[in-house]
Structures are given as C-alpha cells and as structure tokens.
Structure 1
Amino acid sequence: MMGTTTSHDENQATRGSPGEVFAAFLKLGLTSFGGPIAHLGYFRDELVQRRKWIDEASYADLVALSQFLPGPASSQVGFALGLLRGGPLGALAAWAAFTLPSALLLVLFAYGATAFGGPVGSGIITGLKIVAVAIVAQAVWGMARNLCPDRERATIALGAVLVIILFAGPLGQVAAIAAGATAGLLFCRNHHEAITRHIDFPVSRTLGVISLVVFFALLFGLPIVTTAMSSQGLAVFDSFYRAGSLVFGGGHVVLPLLETEVVRSGWVNHDQFLAGYGAAQAVPGPLFTFAAYLGTVLEPAPNGLVGAGIALIAVFLPGFLILLGAIPFWDSFRKRESAQALMRGANAAVVGILGAALYDPVFTSAIVGPRQFALALTCFVLLMAWKAAPWIVVLVAAAGGVLIGAA
C-alpha cells in the first residue's frame, strides 16, 4: 500500500458501497455535457464539494495524473474515485454508470442512422458531419493555447503534422508522439514545476506492475495473435485497444486514431464516421463512447450490440490498466524534470496530430461548398464566442444541414 497510516485511515473512513458509487455516477453520466474538462468540473462539484469523497488537494493530484497518462481523462478520474470510495467494484460501478447512458444513446443513433434515407435524414447526417469541423477546430485551438504556448512546443506540433503527412496510419501517429517526447526532453526543460502534494491510493506496487505488463502485452501481442488467428472479433478489439492506448491530451484526440483504424481499413465509411462523431457531441458522458457507435455500424461482423460491447471495452481498457500501473509510482516519477519535459513534448505532438485530422478527414469530407463552410463557421462562432453548449450547436448544425439539402 502507498501512503501513511493517517491517509490510509482517512480513505477507509470515506469508503462507501458500489451501489452508492453507481448512483452518484449515473447522475453524472446523465447530465455531464461539454467534454472532459467540463466533466472534471462536474466531478469536483458533486464528489469533492457536495459529497466530500476526497479533498481538493487529492483531487488536483488525481486530475494531474489523468492528464499525464494516455486514455480518457475524465473516465480515468471517475474510475479512480470509484476505486477510492467503493474498492474494485466501486471502480467498475463508476465506469458503467458514467459510460452506459451515452453509449446506449449512440447505439440507438447507429441503428436509426441506417434508416435515414430521405432528404431530412441525409440533411441531418450532413449537419452532423459539418458540426464535427467546428468542434474539432475548437479542440485544436484550445489545446494549442494550453499545450503549445511557446515557440519550442509550437514547432514540435508543426513537426508532428509533417510526420503524419509523411507516414500515414498508426505508425505515423506513434512516430509523431515518440518524436515529440524526444524533442521535449531536448528542448522543453525550462519549465520545471516543484511538486510537493502527495497522492495516496490503495494500490500495491505488485498490482501496478501486473497492470503495466498486461497493458503492454495486449498492445504488442494482440496484433500478432490477430494475424495468426485471422479473427475479425480480435481484429476489432485490437484496433480499438490500440486507439485507446495512444490517446494523449483529451477525448477529441481519439478521432484521428479511430479514423485510422476503422475508416482506412474499410470497416466504416467517412460519412458514417463523421455523422457518429457529430452525434457524440450531443450526448452526455465521455467522448470515448463514440466507439460504441462505431462498433455497431462496422462491417463485417461482429457488429450491432456485440460489436458495440467489444469496441467499448477495448477502447477504455488500456486507460484503466495504465492508470492502475502508474498510481503506485506516480509521486516519485512526476517530480523528475525529465518526465515533465517528456510529457510537454508529447502533448505538443498531440496538438499536431489533431490539427492534421482537422484537415483530413474532418474538413475535406464535410466541407464541399460555400454553404457547408458557412454553417461550419457559424457553429465555430457559437462554440467559441457565444460559449453555446455543444448539444445546442449540434441541433443548429442538424437543422442547417436539412436546409442545405432542401436548397
């Protein structure tokens, strides 16, 4: 176990039941709109300030850990809070309650989207593709301001775009992140932060090591097993697991990773992909539940509910494994100047990867004329200047898509 006796006793004193955890996170899963940063605010209001499951300093440590690791940041924070409050069953309850509402809505949308054949249905699909342009542009803009505030990191982001152009596919994305991390070690050491706070979780170093071994064994072993067995189900699990393993910097970054895995493989077409991504902005909960939509519509089988289940578990699993693996070693690692520099470079590279995805496939697939561009620009202004909720902007885009189709 980590931490002092006092911290351990305090954690024990605040333990609750998995049922309590499930009820708290179900409320959050039904009402948490706005993306991972907004989710972290909802968590703080509900679980830190109102329910007092954890103190402010410990919550800040947990948020810092989730931002450092690959995976869905808000879901990792929720998983860890469930672990603290209700043990392993509490962690699973937190994930299920926060994730399933939006996953089920997107599965229903996937079934309904296949029935859209008339002008209204095709117009809605057009609008959902267009709103994805505005939402990804907003994500690129916000991440660039936070993660590339100086010329060194802006240059690393530009370098990542060039790597993606030269080496398309998963290899290019891994190479861009690796090159960014290396550049961070060399050029981003002048922002060292002194860290004194302590994070304390009931996770042993043995469990941490086992989790890391499983994480890397699946990451590198699944492609080999999939090739040897020629199983489509394993291929789907492998693709979504790999996408979930490489997401740094927020849920929007999963867009180019999933596009590489499912569109370029021919499992999902561009229109289906961008329509689902647009719909994912209109539901509460984590953006990673976009995987449930993709698992439903992909071809060949397994798809439908089975495909949704495979995709959903596979895309979340690596983030939780690496979280469990990092918790026992986080305090000592994050205090190192080299670790902070490495992550600054990797995060800057992520901005470049998402910027490249903004152009292709998001912009090139959705913006085919001036009307589409005008609607995308309208959505962007609503998000950036008017601070409109994403689900409202999605409705505006869907209505605009219908009008464009009728014109």
Structure 2
Amino acid sequence: MKHLRKIVEIFLVSFKLGCTSFGGPTAHLGYFQHEYVQNRQWLTDKEYSNLVALSQFLPGPASSQVGMGIGLLRGGLLGSIASFIGFTLPSVLLLMVCAYFYAHKEIEMNWIHGLKLVAVAIVAQAVWDMSKKLIPSLRHFLIAFLALVVLLLWMHPFAQVVVIFASALVGFKLFKESTTNRDSEGIRLPISKSIGMRFLLLFIILLIGLPVASSLFNYEWLQIIEKFYVSGALVFGGGHVVLPLLEVQFVQSGLLSSSDFITGYGITQAMPGPLFTFASYIGMIIGGIPGALVATIAIFLPAFLLIIGVLPFWFTISRTTGLKGAMAGANAAVVGILAAAFIQPIVTQTIQGGLDVFIVIGFLVLLIRWKIQPYLLVLLGIGVGVVFY
C-alpha cells in the first residue's frame, strides 16, 4: 500500500510538471530541479546532475529521460512508468485534440510569449542554484565556462556528448586526489545490472529487428511503429532534432502532407511537456486515437529502455572513488551546458525588448524572494502574455 501511494505521488507530481513545463527541454530541466531537488529533495544536486549528464550521452528526449530516471530512483520500474505517463499525458491529450479539431485552422497564440518568459526565469534560477553546489572552485568554474563557450561556438548534435566526455577526462586528472568518498554511497538503485542488461538487449533487438520485420511484412501498423521507434532511437541533441527524421519518415513517404506536418509542429511548440509528443499529433492524423497511442509509445520506448538499461551502470561509475573526479568534471560541464542553452536559444529567441527584461526580473524576484510555485508563475505568465502581447 505504501509503495502504491508513492507511485501515485510520482504520477501526480510529474503530471503537474507536464501541465506547466513550457519552454523546451532545458526549461524542463529547470522545472525538474526546482520541484524534485529543491522542493521535494527526492535526490541531491549531484545525483540530479549525474542524471542530466547521462541524458546528454544517450539518444532520445533528454528531459523525459531525466524524469524517467527520477521516477526509477523514487519508485522502481513502476515509478519510472508513472513519471513518464504523468509528464507526457497533458501534451499528448492536447495534441490529439488539436489534431482532431484545429490542424488546418489559424490559432492565435500571442499568450505563449508570456510562458516563454516564465521559462527564462525558471532556467536562470536552476543554473544559478546548480552552479552554487557543483562549482566549488576556480577549476570547476573554468570547466563550466569552457563548456559554455564551446557549445555557443560549435552548434552540433554531438557537441554536448563531446563536451561532457572531455570534461570528465579533465576532471579525472584535476580532481582525482581532491575528491573524497563522502557521497560515494549515493542512493540504492531498485533494479540490478542484470535487469539493466536485459533492457539494453531489448533496445538493440528492436532497433535491428523492427526495420527487418517491416521490410519483410507489408503491414501498415508495423511500419508505423518501426518509423517512430527508429526516429526515437537515433536522435541526439534534443527534441528539435527529431523534426527532420520524422519529416523523412512520414512526409517524404506520403503518409502525411507537408501542410499537416508544419501545422502540427507549430502547435507542438506551444504545448507544455516534451517535444517528442509531436508523434502523438502525427499518429492522430494518420490513425486516429489508436495511431496516437501507438506513435507515442513507439517514439518514447527507446528512451525508456536506454535509461533503465544504462542507469545501474552509470550510478555505479559515479560512486566509484577513482572516477569521482571524472564525474566532478562532468557535473561542472552540465552547468555550462545548461548555461549555454539558457543563452541560446532560450534568451536569444525569447527576449525581444526592455519590457521582456523587466518581466523576467519580476518573475525571478517572485521565484527567489517570494518562493512562488512554478505552476502559479505559469498562470501569471499566461496573464502577462494576454495583457501585454
């Protein structure tokens, strides 16, 4: 009974985040840090940063994988599933409704700008809070700063992977003698490495087997599942990178018109939650409600299999005394990565003038000084968008 209550709690918290987390993957990480680390203290800043670093290494939707990982640490496999469903469900339902009623209509969305300003404030606070705990020295700061500079100058899907790997190597050399074993115990994972290996094996089997089966059997639903699964398994660099993959899979193949595709992607930008739920819109257009459900499960399944499969090994590595310096370097790089994403695209594509700056400062005061809850700030952001934009 206690475990069931924990699963329900995980679902409700993630559902609230799914309803209010606007602004894209980096903004989601800011919302997560505020809710899971600061407010609820389900994990520490270092554990959270380790999850963020892992999500940058793996293909798939970074923020969704972090949410799945938090759910796993909190409530096991059921907790991971509950976290995924809660965070994804609001966006899925909204996109299904939009696909049914509004796919070919002009929608006025000026109020969305107010939500983007909320995301600026949320991410700014998250970067500041994480930097205070993960950058304790000048050497940590230099790693974070160099990561920031590299990512601003080199915009490539694999840039984050390269930066984290290089920072881990630098951290291994710089911090291997200065790190202690105080936090090496971490938190006990609710799954074993053998279970993790089975999930990784299933990921590989599906990645190879679905395209083969799709080519052998002319079955429409199997082909749709294969297209979404492969797209979800091969995306590095965030949800926006899935756009060209899905365009090739569905528009160029004739399953979806270019007009429907562009309309759906524009609507997805206005929704809370992960950008991967664009698949729900495509599935709804192609096959109604069953198509939306199949598409959603298929595109997120690789991310789920990977995070469950890799996490037991990742946390073991992060708790190994000899490699704690490497994780210290990687954690510093994560702060730089979030800061880079905060600047580009969040600030550069959101702040349009002095009024925007003034509003963001006001939101930051509400967050830091008055400790306003993010969902209340989201409601305020909608009001600001309606009144001023």
> What is the TM-score of this pair, normalised by structure 1?
0.65
> Pairwise mapping of residues 41-120 of structure 1 onto structure 2 (< 5 A)?
68-69=50-51, 70-71=54-55, 72-73=65-66, 75-83=68-76, 91-92=77-78, 94-111=79-96, 115=102
Give a deviation string over 1:185-224, Cα, whole Å, max 9, x none: 1222343222575976675554454555666x589x77xx
Shift of the 143–307 alpha-carbon distance from structure 1 to 2, 3 Å rule, reads farther
Equivalent residue, structure 2, for 1:309: 297
Cα displacement (A) at 1:396: 0.8
Say if 1:152 and 1:374 are closer, same or farther in 2 by CA, change over 3 A. Answer: same
Name 1:53's counterpart in structure 2: none
**Alpha carbons of 1:352 and 1:189: their partners in 2 closer, same or farther (altered >3 Å)?**
same
Distance (Å, rounded) in 2 between the aligned partners of 1:43 and 1:203: 23
Cα deviation for residue 298 of structure 1 reads 6.4
* Alpha-carbon distance in structure 1 between the residues aligned to 2:153 and 2:302: 28
Check the 8 A contact 2:240/2:275 in 1, yes or no: no
The Cα offsets for residues 48-70 of structure 1, whole Å up to 9 and x where unpaired, read as xxxxxxxxxxx98xx97675352
Structure 1 match to 2:118: 131
Partner of 1:394: 378
Which sections of structure 2, spanning at least 5 residues, go unmatched?
Answer: 17-30, 56-64, 216-222, 248-260
RMSD of equivalent CA atoms = 4.1
Aligned AA (2:83): F
Identify if the C-alpha distance between structure 1 residues 144 and 65 changes in structure 2 by more than 3 Å, giving closer, same or farther. Answer: closer
Q: Secondary structure of 1:366's partner?
A: coil
Q: What is the alpha-carbon distance in structure 1 between the residues aligned to residue 368 and residue 350 of structure 2?
A: 20
CA contact (8 A) 2:67 2:83 kept: no
* AA partner of residue 163 (structure 1): V
Within 1, Cα distance between the matches of 2:188 and 2:41?
18
Which deviations, in whole Å up to 9, do the C-alpha atoms of 1:319-349 show, x marking residues without a partner?
Answer: 111124457xx2x872323x10111111111
Residue 51 (structure 1) aligns with: none
Amino acid at match of 1:110: L
Q: Distance in 2 between matches of 1:35 and 1:163?
A: 25
- Which residue of the partner structure matches residue 54 of structure 1? none
1:38 to 32, 35, 39: 35
Cα distance between partner residues in 1 of 2:173 and 2:324: 12
Whether the 8 Å contact between 1:241 and 1:318 is mirrored in structure 2 is no
* Gapped regions of structure 1 (runs ≥ 5): 1-15, 46-58, 84-90, 247-255, 281-289
For the residues of structure 1 that align with 2:81 and 2:266, how far apart are their CA atoms?
A: 29
Percent of aligned positions with the same letter in both sequences? 25
- 1:233 shift after superposition: 5.8
2:121 and 2:360 in contact (8 A); partners too: yes
**TM-aligned CA distance change 1:352 to 1:232, over 3 Å:** farther
CA contact (8 A) 2:140 2:329 kept: yes
SS in 2 for 1:323: helix
Query: Where do residues 274-313 of structure 1 align in structure 2 (5 Å cutoff)?
Result: 275-276=270-271, 279-280=272-273, 290-291=274-275, 293-297=277-281, 304-313=292-301
